[in-house]
Amino acid sequence: MPENSTRIEIFDQSYQIRGEIDPEYVGKLAAYVDRKMREIAGVSKTVDSLKVAVMAALNITDELFQERENARRTDSIVYDKSLECSRLLDQVLKR
- What does the domain layout of the chain look like in residue ranges? 4-93
pLDDT tens-place string over residues 9-40: 999 999 999 999 899 999 999 999 999 999 99
- How far is it, in rounded angstroms, from Cα 60 to Cα 71? 16
pLDDT tens-place string over residues 43-87: 998 889 999 999 999 999 999 999 999 999 999 999 999 999 999
